[in-house]
Structure 1
Amino acid sequence: MSLQNHPMNTWYVAFTPDEITDKPFARQICGIRLVFFRNEQGKVVALEDFCPHRGAPLSLGTVENGQLVCGYHGLRMGDDGETKSMPNQRVQGFPCIKSYAVVERYGFIWLWPGDKALAKEELLPVLEWAENPNWGYGGGLYHINCDYRLMIDNLMDLTHETYVHASSIGQKEIDESPVSTKMEGQSVVTSRFMENVMAPPFWAAALRANELADDVPVDRWQICRFNLPSHIMIEVGVAHAGKGGYNADKAHKASSIVVDFITPESDTSIWYFWGMARDFKPQDTALTDTIRTGQGEIFAEDLEVLEQQQQNLLRYPDKKILKLDIDAGGVQARRMIERAIKQEQAANRPNGE
């Protein structure tokens, strides 16, 4: 059995609606080369990116009347993976190509790369902020050359902010504050609370945007929640000190959810969908753009570190990585991933193996 590094029977974010136009859209996810397009009803369809005639990528073709037209010899492929026609040729005996389950919801297109029969829309994560007009959201996408689990490690231990993001969200109190890691249902939760500290530049700007003083001590929190296969929501914020911290009234705080969807492209590359959802001034598009720009610059700093880390791990394959208390969240998340993979492999194994 080939090595499997990520769960397959689960939903991953594949792309955002603005990425797909009236042309075929190619993307590799979990090692599978896929072509996406909208059928005649406007629904997004995913097929393996392989023409059954001569093997050309279907993504090099066009979309006509909801059908995919191969750019090599004009073969027409339906949204069910069946060959529909080809100029002056009989194609009734052509084999089907594989189709995949797709759902468009919450402002994302989701792909189920495993067994299509197991894909159910109710298994999507619940993103209340995405359908609530009292919340605003802005985000982006990075392609990063690293194992998706390295990004999970990065997000489940925010100690690195003190060093990697010193000019924006980092401060020395982060690595001076204790970290708590626990399981809550099917989530790994890592949390850190800081009291009576000064807000770093990013959060000082957030306080000003929320019409709050930015030059007084604050209580700060970071609560990271990991869910399979590789989704992390991080509750972050600051409140004027002594007003209740995380539980402070909205009149005294600026808070948000850092949204992280990590989709493996290959064993050493990912599609990283990042963003921030906030429950203050949701209709302020200028503020959304400002936060998106600042957050994008912060994550660009992570990108450089993660890609260099991946290269170093490939250079030293026999080196063991140390695990400290601050790594507990990432360790627990990896254990959940490993269990999910083993369960899938056991379910796919013929009786008696």
Structure 2
Amino acid sequence: MFLKNSWYVACTPDEIESKPLGRKICGENIAFYRGNEGQVAAVENFCPHRGAPLSLGYVEDGNLVCGYHGLVMGCDGKTVSMPGQRVRGFPCIKSYAVVERYGFIWVWPGEKELADPALIHHLEWAESPDWAYGGGLYHIKCDYRLMIDNLMDLTHETYVHSSSIGQKEIDEALPTTSVNGDEVITARHMDNIMAPPFWRMALRGNDLADDVPVDRWQICRFTPPSHVMIEVGVAHAGNGGYDAPDHLKASSIVVDFITPETETSHWYFWGMARKFKPDDLALTDTIREGQGKIFGEDLDMLEQQQSNLLTYPERGLLKLNIDSGGVQSRRVLDRLLADEHQLIAKESSVA
């Protein structure tokens, strides 16, 4: 159901600042912590002695100490020591490829020897001082693919987010979808409309009038295994829309890292990167608060949708033209999953 030989956002640095973190990702129970010289490490969240979660322990001298009987585990999955016991012969537990980059901790839950940090997508907004970022994390009890569907078709904004970013013009502007290799792009442009409440706030945040017509855009980009970056914004009408000069628009990238936990749950790292007033911390907080409420509305809808699908498993999902972005994204995933399963089967037959 989910790719394992891929990079996923596992957590943020603050989550492992003071103690280990246990998190299930793609069905793998993993303990994250900082090892020698502050380097991030990840091992199976299972003490080989009595099966206690290693994440309930603590870090000492770069090693992870089990909080049950004091077994000391190295970042390579090998047992180092245990008070009063001879444990060097204990079987190894699994260790994972893990990288700290762009303000996130990334994990490769599949075969460690295949992990290449160069495969992590470049995020310009995370490295440039011209951008500001603010975000958060939700745990959502639904299939991660439902979230991808949700983000690749923003028609729902009119109904789910009617008090913030929704407006009837979204329904009236048909989206276009294209596929470029493994990337799926769905775009929608709305010209000469009035901005909804969230975007009026953003216009004011960039010292722009909020009571004049604007051109609005939404460009959703899906990339495997489950990332969706959405270029969004409004510009004073008649100035080029998406291509308008920075001083005439409020534009951002909605950041969506969707990390599967189980077949019916995922970790949703959400945020917004903006290229205006990057030093305005109060504006960052205001946008984060507004965006958090918006995504909270998605959470309730998606969890109820998942509940319905589990109750009526025999019912298929209908596909309309507005669903094209999600449909194409699932096709990319299905193709890559088939390739991964074929690779695993080939390795098993050789072994």
Report the TM range for the smaller structure's normalisation.
over 0.9
The gaps in structure 1 that reach 5 residues or longer are none
What does the per-residue CA deviation read over 1:206-252, in whole Å, with 9 as the maximum and x for residues that have no partner? Answer: 11111111111111000000000000000000111111111111121
Aligned residue pairs, count = 349
Q: Does 1:145 align with 2:141?
A: yes
Q: How far 1:184 sits from its partner (Å)?
A: 2.7
Q: How far 1:40 sits from its partner (Å)?
A: 1.9
Match for 1:177: what amino acid? A
Q: How far 1:275 sits from its partner (Å)?
A: 0.4
Q: How far 1:351 sits from its partner (Å)?
A: 4.2
Counterpart in the other structure of 1:241: 237
Q: Does 1:112 align with 2:88?
A: no
Q: How far 1:21 sits from its partner (Å)?
A: 2.5
The gaps in structure 2 that reach 5 residues or longer are none
Q: Does 1:49 align with 2:45?
A: yes
Q: How far 1:185 sits from its partner (Å)?
A: 3.8
Q: How far 1:202 sits from its partner (Å)?
A: 0.4
Match for 1:36: what amino acid? F
Counterpart in the other structure of 1:11: 7
C-alpha distance in structure 2 between counterparts of 1:92 and 1:39, whole Å: 20
The question of whether the paired residues in 2 share the 8 Å contact of 1:35 and 1:49 is answered with yes
C-alpha distance in structure 1 between counterparts of 2:247 and 2:280, whole Å: 18
Q: How far 1:323 sits from its partner (Å)?
A: 0.3
Q: How far 1:169 sits from its partner (Å)?
A: 0.3
The question of whether the paired residues in 2 share the 8 Å contact of 1:77 and 1:85 is answered with yes
For normalisation by structure 2, the TM-score amounts to 0.98
Q: Does 1:121 align with 2:121?
A: no
Counterpart in the other structure of 1:82: 78
Corresponding residue to 2:253 among 235, 257, 279: 257
Counterpart in the other structure of 2:278: 282
Q: Does 1:307 align with 2:303?
A: yes
Corresponding residue to 1:91 among 87, 94, 99: 87
C-alpha distance in structure 1 between counterparts of 2:18 and 2:237, whole Å: 52
Counterpart in the other structure of 2:191: 195
SS at 2:37 equivalent: coil
Counterpart in the other structure of 1:217: 213
C-alpha distance in structure 2 between counterparts of 1:168 and 1:175, whole Å: 16
Q: Does 1:327 align with 2:327?
A: no
SS at 2:46 equivalent: coil
Q: Percent identity?
A: 69
Q: Does 1:32 align with 2:36?
A: no
SS at 1:137 equivalent: strand
What does the per-residue CA deviation read over 1:65-119, in whole Å, with 9 as the maximum and x for residues that have no partner? Answer: 1111112211110111100111111112111100000000000000000000010
What does the per-residue CA deviation read over 1:297-338, in whole Å, with 9 as the maximum and x for residues that have no partner? Answer: 000000000000000000000011100000000001001111
Q: How far 1:177 sits from its partner (Å)?
A: 0.5
SS at 1:41 equivalent: helix
Counterpart in the other structure of 1:293: 289
For normalisation by structure 1, the TM-score amounts to 0.97
What does the per-residue CA deviation read over 1:16-74, in whole Å, with 9 as the maximum and x for residues that have no partner? Answer: 00111232211111111111111121111100011111111111212111111112211
C-alpha distance in structure 2 between counterparts of 1:246 and 1:62, whole Å: 49
Counterpart in the other structure of 1:68: 64
Counterpart in the other structure of 2:174: 178
C-alpha distance in structure 1 between counterparts of 2:251 and 2:58, whole Å: 45
Q: 4+ runs of 1 displaced by more than 2 Å?
A: none
SS at 2:69 equivalent: coil
